[in-house]
Structure 1
Amino acid sequence: MSSLAWGLPLLILLIGGGLYLLFRIRFLPFRYLGHAIAVLRGRYDDEHDEGQITHFQALTTALSATVGMGNISGVAVAIFIGGPGAVFWMWVSAVIGMSTKFFTASLSVMYRGKDSAGEIQGGPMYFITEGLGKKWKPLAILFSVAGLVGALPVFNVNQLTQAINDIVLKPNDLYYGFTTDLGIGFILLVITSIVILGGISRISKTASKLVPAMVVLYFILVLGILVVNIEVVPKYLGMIFTDAFSASFFQGDAFLGGAIGGLILLGIKRGAFSNEAGIGTAPMAHGAAKTNEPIREGLVAMLGPAIDTLIVCTLTALAILVTGVWQSSDANGVSLTATAFENGLPLFGKYALLLCIVVFSISSLFSYSYYGTKCMSFLFGAHNKKYYNIIYIISILVGATTSLSMMINLIDTFFALMAIPTMVATIIMAPRVVKEAKRYFSKLKKPSTNH
């Protein structure tokens, strides 16, 4: 199912669609990165605007979902199959993803809807029904149904369990197979239940504290590894570029008649998994931001893929490449990243990595539950969303006790099914965002009298 869903049509939709959006807006958002950072820092916040959380909380909630295992183990999976060149195609997907995020988040504020409880909500299912009208509702339903499965935490939990086993339990002979996995799953189930039953404001408050601190710690750790291996850093940076077009280390399935096609698909798939641009999850968090200026939220959302893929994924990739473990180790996923940290910072590297992994994973658990309950409310009414949390919490045990390949394929499939309605609706409504952006940016240029 996964390879069927991630065929040529979806690739054209995500990358072709993203490029179309990038040229439609003539790279405009990229010229306002400074302004985006000012918005994020709260310079334009207004208490009276509609919405539930601040720009900063919306971005950190979206980032706590995206800066997760996709960055730590997804990158490892990409390099394991594709070698250094896969990183280049992840970068390409990030730059295109920035324009996609700008459009999807702007739309989710432009066309907010109300759920059955009368709460204001944003996200693809609302901008499809509010922006395109009733006859497009099947598209919104497809998104929400796929979202129910796509938001399940199985991949995150799977990789977190693997990390705890590999880094702490197995070296100390404390691993007892299925029983241990189930035990870890149970502990995660308890922690997650406490937070997610508190709703979006508790989720966003927790995320806005945890995520920035962990990104900084992760940054410092990888910097340490790069300093230790400084003599090979230029070589591998070069290889990311040269190997992107030669695919000499690629070991996966060919695509469009060759290894390079397979490598491009791999990089874009793992890039989309890591920054979720075009999938439609992040707009659900951005749609809850306190703002009456859609473009402002679009600019904040656009920073997501930059932080997520261009910074965090590149750090992981360099750590794996410069330590050489991608060629000397049979490990895959999070275990490969752990091996790199152990080689690069022998005494404490893997334990510091474990701390980052625990925070990234657990914060992802919080945000995804929010996405799933939004889909549930849209389909079955807000009064039924509590039932989703029960399914969600039980699925934690499934993720902890199953194989990596099954979990990756499951989530990949449903991410693909979420991307189709999100991208189709975004491309149709793109001209409306361009118009709104022109209005917003021309207003910015005029000096205002009241500020």
Structure 2
Amino acid sequence: MEQFFADFAAFMWGTPLIVLLVGGGLFFVIFSKGLPYRHFPHAINVLRGKYAKEGGEGQISHYQALTTALSGTLGLGNIAGVAIAISIGGPGAIFWMWVTAVVGVATKFYTCTLAVMYRGYDSNGQLQGGPMYVIREGLGKRWMPLAVLFALAGMCGALPVFQINQLVQIVRDAVAIPSGITTESNHLVFDLSLGIALSIVVWIVLIGNIQRIGKVTAALVPVMVVLYMIMTIVVLAVKADQIPNAFYLIFHHAFTPESAASGTLLTIILTGVRRGAFSNEAGIGTEAMAHGAAKTNEPVREGVIAMVGPVVDTLLVCTCTALVVLVTGAWQIEGSSGVTLTAQAFESVLPGFGAYLLTIMVLFLSLSTVFTFGYYGSKCLGFLIGANRQHYYIWMYTGLVILGATVSLTTVVNLIDAMYALMAIPTMVSTILLAGKVNQAAKRYFATASN
């Protein structure tokens, strides 16, 4: 199974998909004449509540839509994903993560504007958003195979196995093993027990659907991000003299492959783009489902809010994680990967409690991601078999929380990567085809919107 998913992920994440994601993002930048970047102040005003009384069809507020989308991106992609990127592609992979984030600003603007512009009603008569509805409502029935492809891949790509796998790993390595609760060689019972406990928590939140998820993420995400940023600032302050060298490593190794696991420039680029896509989800389509649920009748306004995501997620949080891993020298430790590598970086500067603090961050950030992904997956199932049956996904999902606690990291990463690649194809193709509609709407919107 591990080899199958590795081969499948490698096949999907070839040059054509890189061209589609990064090249498509560059197309949006040029096609919009840089519009998303020029209207960042407007996005901040919207988030500050300037248009809070707008109202409209939907289920959650602008702010809850952003925090729900961020809870799906801010988490282990920023903590474990960055460490995985450096382990496989070297420090240079971070540079290519930045590239995906910069062009991802424009990609998010287009995908999430369309998610509101082309919302559709599910079988229960409830208004929904997301790439599958964009394809159905915006492109028509002859494009339905693309919508079905997204929904099928979305059900698998939203599985909680990565987040739970890494959460259990850090709790085991940072807390359970040092305290003697379990051992390094025989921890299956501990992993299974923790997986069962987490599945119960996830089930309780998910049965409340998007409204409960929006409230939970609105409370959790800002607090956890601020606390995590404080931790990274402390580490970077202690290792301030190493920060210039860390940036040198990132830029130098972005084009020199000696630090990559396979020693090729293509490995660095592919690793950076894969981990960048996993981190900020620009062009993947999952975040569009959250923004499509916002209470608004202004599609462009939601697109403007969504484009803040890659900046916060990748350019800010991922960069801080990368610098911590590099300035502490943890990236050169052999045998460590994922969240354990990041924990070792914090522990080296904050001995005795660095790993414990990171464990708390991972606990809340990973669970908020799991909550959001459960919503994404259930929406995909509802699109395929009817919204009145989408609750079946929650039962399967909570069961897979237990599985995620026990499977290997390599299998989990390759499975999710392959599904993200499959989701990107219908998302990017439909967005490119409908980009002209976004430009027309944006021209009207910014002609009257107060910045």
Question: Once the 2 structures are TM-superposed, how far is the Cα of residue 47 of structure 1 from its aligned partner?
Answer: 5.2
> Which letter does structure 2 place at the counterpart of 1:413?
A
SS of the equivalent of 1:248 reads: helix
Are 1:46 and 1:291, in contact at CA under 8 Å, matched by a contact in 2?
no
2:415 to 394, 407, 410: 410
Please name the residue that 2:249 is paired with: 239
Alignment of 1:137-148 (within 5 A): 137-148=144-155
TM-score of the superposed pair, with normalisation by structure 2: 0.96
User: Where does residue 358 of structure 1 map in the other structure?
Assistant: 363
**1:24: which partner in 2?**
31
Gaps of 5+ in 2: 1-7
Query: Of the candidates 107, 126, 130, which is equivalent to residue 133 of structure 2?
Result: 126
Which residue pairs with 1:423 in the alignment?
A: 428
Q: Who is 2:120 aligned against?
A: 113
Moved more, 41-50 or 52-61: 41-50
> Offset at 1:329?
4.1
Give unpaired runs (5+ residues) of structure 1: none
1:156 to 163, 166, 185: 163
Question: Which residue of 2 is the match for residue 37 of structure 1?
Answer: 44
1:92 pairs, out of 90, 99, 116, with: 99
Q: Percent identity?
A: 54
The correspondence for 1:198, drawn from 193, 208, 212, is 208
2: distance between equivalents of 1:436 and 1:246? 43
CA distance in 1, matches of 2:142, 2:162: 34
Give 1:173's aligned amino acid.
G
The answer to whether structure 1 residue 5 and structure 2 residue 12 are counterparts is: yes
Residue aligning to 2:258: 248
Q: Aligned residue for 1:68?
A: 75
Counterpart in the other structure of 1:55:
62
TM superposition shift of 1:173: 2.1
Match of 2:348 in 1: 343
* Equivalent residue letter for 1:439: R
Cα separation, 2, equivalents of 1:277 and 1:328: 31
Q: Does 1:304 align with 2:314?
A: no
Q: Distance between the aligned counterparts of 1:43 and 1:376, measured in 2? A: 36
Equivalent position SS for 1:245: coil
Structure 2 partner of 1:183: 193
Structure-1 separation of matches of 2:48 and 2:129: 22
CA contact (8 A) 1:276 1:282 kept: yes
TM-score (norm 1): 0.96
TM-superposed deviation, 1:42: 1.9
Deviation at 1:117, TM superposition (A): 0.3
Alignment of structure 1 residues 198-217 onto 2, 5 Å? 198-217=208-227
Q: Select between 127-136 and 320-329 the one with higher mean Cα deviation.
A: 320-329
Q: Displacement, 1:348?
A: 1.6
Q: Is the 8 A contact 1:18 1:100 kept in 2?
A: yes
Paired with 1:194 and 1:419, the residues of 2 have a C-alpha distance of 30
- Runs of 4+ aligned structure 1 residues displaced above 6 Å come to none
Using the alignment, how far apart are the partners of 2:86 and 2:158 within structure 1? 25
Q: Is the 8 A contact 1:144 1:379 kept in 2?
A: yes
Q: 2:275 aligns with which of 270, 275, 278?
A: 270
3-state SS, counterpart of residue 59 of structure 2 = coil
Q: Does 1:230 align with 2:240?
A: yes
- Residue 4 of structure 2 is matched in structure 1 by none
Say whether 1:167 aligns with 2:174: yes
Query: Alpha carbon RMSD of aligned pairs, Å?
Result: 1.1
1:112–1:126 contact (8 Å) kept in structure 2? yes
CA distances 1:284-305 after superposition (whole Å, capped 9, x unpaired): 0000001111111001100011
Shift of 1:82: 1.8
Q: Are the counterparts in 1 of residues 55 and 297 from structure 2 also a CA contact under 8 Å? A: no
